[in-house]
Amino acid sequence: MDFLRTVLASLSLACLFEYFQISQETTTIFAVLLIIDFILWVIHAYYSDKQSVTSTRMWLGLGKKALRFTIPFSVVFILKGIGFKEIGFLNSSIMSILIASEGYSILRHYVYIQTKKEMSEMDAIEFVLNKVIDIVKNYLTNNTKTNV
C-alpha cells in the first residue's frame, strides 16, 4: 500500500511539474540551495551576533525561504490565468535568476564565515517580482477597456 501511495504521489508531482513547465531538476537544485542557504544564514548570524540567533528569527527565515520556493509556481498560475500559453522560457529564466541569487547568498555566507567580511546583498527576488508585475501591468493595460 505504501508503494502505491509513493507511485501515485510521484505521478502527481510529475504532472504538476509538466503543467507548470518547470524542470524537476531545476526545482530540486533550487530547493537544495534554499536549504544550504538557510543553514549558512544561521551560521553567519551566529558568527556575527550570537544574540540575534533566536527561534523566532529562524522560523521567519524558514518562512521566507518557503515563500521563495512558491514564486515560480505563483508566476505560472498568474500568467496561465491571464491567458499566456507558452511560459516555459519565462519560468526557466525566473528559476535561473532565483538559483543565481541563492548561489550568491551562499557564497556571501561562506566569505563571512571564513573572513568575517560582509559582501553586499543582491535582491534578485525583488527583481523577479518587479518583472512579473510589469508583465501583468502591461497585460492589464493592453487588455482592459478604458470605458466601462
Grid cell locating 64: 521566507
Task: Give the DSSP per-residue string, 20-60.
Answer: HT--HHHHHHHHHHHHHHHHHHHHHHHHH-GGG--HHHHHH
Print burial letters for 126-138: b (CB count within 10 Å at least 16), e (below 16). Answer: eebeeebeebeee
How do residues 66-76 score in pLDDT, each as one tens digit?
888 888 888 88
Neighbours of 23 (CB within 10 A): 15
Between residues 107 and 21, which one has the greater pLDDT? 107
How do residues 22-64 score in pLDDT, each as one tens digit?
788 888 898 899 899 999 989 998 888 888 778 888 898 888 8
Q: What is the pTM for the complete model shown?
A: 0.73
Contact 33, 56 (CB under 8 A): no
The whole-number average pLDDT for the span 98-113 is 90
Q: 145 falls in which pLDDT band (50, 70, 90)? A: low
Q: How far apart are CA 31 and CA 13, in angstroms?
A: 15
Q: In this structure, which amino acid lies at residue 33? A: L
